[in-house]
Structure 1
Amino acid sequence: MFEDKIEKMNENIGTIPMIEYEKRVYTPEEIQDILGVSRTTIYQLIKSKVFHSVRVGGQYRISKRSFDKWLEESDEEL
């Protein structure tokens, strides 16, 4: 009986819609990958406040919107 309930639940796994959302923050590691720079450089950028970041549970999160804006403005200056 219990196995039948589990089997029935598993039948519906493929039909459950996935919730998609737009990413709103980056981790320092993601910024490091995007820019191709060192970890030290990322934390210098965070400390210099060139884009908005917050510290959550001892870890930094960088606003995607402010990072993208900073990056676009940097491209225009080149």
Structure 2
Amino acid sequence: MEVTMDKKEKKSLPEPRTYTVEQIAAMLNIGRTTAYQLVKQEEFRIVRIGNAIRVSKKSFDEWLESLEL
């Protein structure tokens, strides 16, 4: 992802290290309510920022890989 500063400079943003609950729902093809239930089960690490919930990419990806699909 790039952010254009002006015509001469481009600044790259770091790769995001978290997912939103909505992103998890989309990746797993499940509803938002079900995704929030997964978060409540503490299957992966989360960070709360005010009312926002962010899920650690690393812990989510490890959890997903551990499933026998």
| Percent of residue pairs bearing the same amino acid type | 45
Do residues 44 (structure 1) and 44 (structure 2) align?
no
Do residues 61 (structure 1) and 62 (structure 2) align?
no
CA distance in 1: counterparts of 2:33 and 2:60, whole angstroms: 17
SS in 2 for 1:72: helix
CA distance in 2: counterparts of 1:33 and 1:25, whole angstroms: 14
More strand by share: 2
CA distance in 1: counterparts of 2:54 and 2:23, whole angstroms: 10
Give the letter for the 1:47 counterpart.
Answer: K
Between Structure 1 and Structure 2, how many residues are aligned? 65
CA root-mean-square deviation: 1.4
Do residues 32 (structure 1) and 25 (structure 2) align?
yes
Residues 26-76 of structure 1: CA deviation (Å, up to 9, x unaligned): 1101111111101111111000000111211111100000000001111xx
CA distance in 2: counterparts of 1:68 and 1:49, whole angstroms: 14
Q: Which runs of 5+ in 1 are unaligned?
A: 1-11
TM-fit CA distance, 1:20:
3.1
Higher Cα radius of gyration: 1
Task: Please list every run of at least 4 consecutive aligned residues from structure 1 whose deviation after the TM superposition is greater than 6 angstroms.
Answer: none
More helix by share: 1
